[in-house]
Chains A and B, each alone.
Chain A
Amino acid sequence: MTLNSKIPSGSLESKWKTYKSTCKLVNPANKRQLEVIVIGTGLAGASAAASLGELGYKVKTFCFQDSPRRAHSIAAQGGINAAKNYQNDGDSTYRLFYDTVKGGDYRAREGNVYRLAEVSANIIDQCVAQGVPFAREYGGLLSNRSFGGTQVQRTFYAAGQTGQQLLIGAYQALERQVALGNVTQYSRHEMLEVVMVDGKARGIIARNLVTGELERHFGHAVLLCSGGYGNVFYLSTNAMGSNVTAAWKAHKKGAFFGNPCFTQIHPTCIPVSGDHQSKLTLMSESLRNDGRIWVPKKQGDNRKPNDIPEEERDYYLERRYPAFGNLVPRDVASRAAKERCDAGYGVGASKQAVYLDYASAIERYGKVEANKLGLENPSKEKITELGKGVVEAKYGNLFEMYEKITGENPYEVPMRIYPAVHYTMGGLWVDYELQTTVPGLYALGEANFSDHGANRLGASALMQGLADGYFVIPYTLGNNLADDIRTKAIPTDHPAFVAAEKEVSDRINKLMSIKGTESVESFHKRLGKIMWDKCGMARNEKGLKEAIEEIKALRKEFWSNVRIPGEINEFNPELDKANRVADFIELGELMCMDALNRNESCGGHFREEYQTEDGEAMRQDDKYMYVAAWEYKGESQFELHKEDLVYDVVHPTQRSYK
């Protein structure tokens, strides 16, 4: 099978415009007959379901949480990018496109990324119209801030809760459609299988997580908006329930998985405090706007941070990357932190942390404030006090969160941070229309692989999720469903539904019948450790080969020794988790295979064998300028398909943030 990305011809600027004006449409009467299933209600899912409901499609949404509003998009802190150029600092659609392609280390499709940059501005308009309370200036206009990997201020934000505000906006739009009867909402439901009829995705099998019953749902199309798979590492900034199950089921039914090894490790997270740790907490990238990152110049320096004099501190990001300083992209910042810690300069009890210091920002802001107030020769204490006030107004909620978790006051003592798994650029392979290799099955948002290449820039995930849901899928789905208007709803007693349901119930019965000795959690932790050690921030051939074998063994052990308490037909979170972990184990193996296949370093994928003399990632454009799309061929069997990436406009060079 050759992969057809269906990128429209024509110049970069005209592709999407041409597509929109030439794609097929479905008339309103027919839309009412067409049913669409949406899995996941985060930014992509909620915005897609709301928009499709508005258009008149009959939509069903599914989420495993108790309400669509709890999808993990809600936890995004920093902001959302848009090429509005409100700051008059030289931003443009092209520049956002260019930054994103470059930030992704030239492993994303030009056509998709340009479309993303194009619709970014509409997203902000749409959200404001919905009542999303973005931060504003005193003049009443929207405020912006900077994020990593860019030199303009294009990030819109709502304090440290941008994801929450955007999701609530989309959720409200969704609930409005529920009230109007266009969308039916199924909460505490998990999709466990795709139903295929005549080679097309025509429905799903979902499990009601309260009663344990399996349900069959028909749809002319199925949209997977189920997020990323960072939890394969056990510890990540993802929510506890975030999982790959929906995407993995689709993969096993024929949807190719694109670039599974591209994972983003976020540089500023609160470090692990012990074995009990269940998840990691992100400290927004926006903190790098004002905070300075450093380690002691001396190895194994055990002094308290405030006792280490200025000249004995190594502000290693500013030293290595003077042009971007503390605002280098995430992959670069994360690797630099790991390099320092591995070399023995780490801080804190675990020595697996670096300092994020606000002392100089507090002083700088304090002086500005004192100036504003007209204070002559203000005391050092006064400056600090004023500066703390400014920092609190900007980042108060983040500082408070840090203090709750660590018990340390970040206004007084530098924060300790360390990189943690945050986002997965890889995902289901989709074409320009967001359709996977299975007809009728689409993937939106983090669940697809499409727009971020090998590394995502900060504040771009929210942008992509909403772009896909609000502005892309309403067109591309119509273009495909126009051919389906004669397809009547397929009754759910169709043999394909019966067979799919049986597949699911057999698997659940099998899991429950193992009655082993080890808990699901324990298997998940073991998988996470393999993945983090051998397929984490730095990877090498030997480690990946070992990891593949270890994961295979782990899978065998899981299927022979997992212990799941409780019953099938009841609320049983352990069973839910077992279903998810079983899929994570299979995915983990594929990720390692993909990482092993990609003999280069690019973005979040760092192969130790491929680095420049000063430790920067070294791509192999002649060999790996392609999307690795993996086809499932049976247990541990995956076939690689390549989609070559063609750069007509941008000329790939080695990324430099020096």
Chain B
Amino acid sequence: MEHYNMNLTLKVWKQKNKNQQGHFETFQVKNISSEMSFLEMFDVLNEQLIAEGKEPIAFDHDCREGICGACSMHINGRAHGPWHHTTTCQLHMREYKDGDTIVVEPFRANAFPVIKDLVVDRSGFDRIIQAGGYISVNTGNAVDANALPIEKHDADEAFAAAACIGCGACVAACPNASAMLFTSAKVSHLALLPQGDPERSIRVENMIRQHDKEGFGGCTNIGACEAECPKGISLENIARLNREYIAATFRGGSKNSV
């Protein structure tokens, strides 16, 4: 791999807090190595801003290895930038060339209010999980792990759904700002396992209700979420959520539901 350096123009969304209007600001960065990650390029920019006595740009990030789901950023019109199956922290600068202009915005959705600059509040996802994204089992007294064999295919499918990192790219990419891919990943993960069976009706009902309450848009099967998901969560999960929902409808739902 040939390494090279580049100078870039960055147009970055600046917003003091939730209540104030935001705007774009333009910055220049020099000598960015093609081996840097996108966030390391932002580190360089922030160090430069601090040295100039300016305020650095706030952005969410933590593990920087594509698994915690903290990083966000809408880069040149794409959630997590242009690479397939990649979070922003794993996007590397060899994607860009000298002289490029990059526009960086926060994930935008009513349900994801901006906290500052590129940082948004994704706590709605926690509340969707609280609405039913779990199996009600207390610690202790679980039966032996091998007491209940699970068909490998189902276990693998459940794993594929459970791989969701809760980053919100599905919402950011969806023209409707819907979080149905996120919601369906959890519904699917638990519906595919026998342990999740007893609560399947109430789970899907309550999670969808919470999804709507948070202000996410509805799903119209556009598919941008799947294309943009860094973990490749499949639309099949939304199909499964729909089936779960229809089944719950016919079953009359759970007696526990509200």
A–B touch (CB < 8 A): the answer is yes
Binding site for B on A (CB under 8 A): 47, 50-51, 54, 65-72, 74-75, 84, 86, 122, 124-131, 133-142, 158-159, 161, 164-165, 168, 171-173, 175-176, 178-179, 185, 187, 210, 237, 239-241, 273-274, 276-279, 281-282, 400-401, 404-408, 470-471, 474, 519, 521-522, 563, 565-566, 570-571, 573-574
How far, in angstroms, from A128 to B145 measured CA to CA in the complex?
A: 6
CA distance A71 to B61 in the complex (A): 12
Interface hit among B62-70, B99-107, B170-178, B235-243: B62-70
> How many angstroms between the C-alpha atoms of A126 and B138 in the bound complex?
9
| B129 with A171: CB separation less than 8 A | yes
Least CB distance from B208 to A in Å reads: 15
Q: Are A65 and B62 in contact (CB under 8 A)?
A: yes
User: Which of chain B's residues 148-201 have a Cβ closer than 8 Å to chain A?
Assistant: 148-152, 155-156, 158-159, 162-163, 165-166, 189-190, 193, 195-196
- The interface residues of chain B, by DSSP majority, are classed as loop
9 intermolecular pairs with C-beta atoms under 8 Å apart = A69-B126, A125-B143, A130-B134, A131-B190, A140-B155, A164-B163, A240-B64, A404-B92, A571-B115
Given the contacts A165-B159, A179-B130, A571-B58, A140 and B150 also touching, CB distance less than 8 Å: yes
Q: Nearest residue in B to A64 (C-beta to C-beta)?
A: B62
What is the distance, in angstroms, from A380's C-beta to the closest C-beta of chain B? 26
Q: Is B131 an interface residue (CB 8 A)?
A: yes
Taken together as a complex, chains A and B put the C-alpha atoms of A522 and B129 apart, in Å, by 39
Is there an interface contact between A573 and B39, defined as CB atoms closer than 8 Å?
no
- Which of B122, B123, B138, B166 has its CB near the most chain A CB atoms (within 10 A)? B138
B129, A175: Cβ atoms under 8 Å?
yes
B92 in contact with A240 (CB, 8 Å): no
Q: Cβ of A519 and Cβ of B33 under 8 Å apart?
A: no
Q: A131 contacts B195, CB within 8 Å?
A: yes
Q: Name B residues whose Cβ lies closer than 8 Å to a Cβ of A.
A: 1, 16-17, 33, 35-37, 39-40, 43-44, 46-47, 49-51, 53-56, 58, 60-70, 83, 85-86, 90, 92, 94, 115-116, 119, 121-123, 125-126, 129-131, 133-140, 142-146, 148-152, 155-156, 158-159, 162-163, 165-166, 189-190, 193, 195-196
A406 near B1 with CB under 8 A, answer yes
Closest A-B pairs by Cβ, 4 of them: A140-B149, A172-B134, A129-B142, A133-B159
| Minimum Cβ distance to chain B for residue A70 (Å) | 4
Residues of B within 8 A of A124 (CB): 145
Cβ B50 vs Cβ A133 within 8 A: no
Q: Which of these, A54, A122, A519, contacts B51 with CB under 8 Å?
A: A519
Known contacts A50-B139, A84-B145: A273-B56 contact under CB 8 Å: no
A408 touches B1 (CB 8 A): yes
| Closest CB in chain B relative to A460 CB, distance in Å | 18
Closest CB of chain A to B99's CB: distance in Å? 20
**Contacting A128 at CB < 8 Å: which of B66, B129, B166, B195?**
B195
Contact A133 B35 (CB under 8 A): no
- A521–B40 Cα gap in the complex (Å)? 12
Instruction: Assess A563 versus B155: contact at CB under 8 Å? Given A176-B134, A281-B65.
Output: no
Given contacts A125-B143, A521-B47, contact A276 B40 (CB under 8 A): yes
Nearest chain-A residue to B143 (Cβ)? A125
Verify B145–A125 contact, CB threshold 8 A: yes
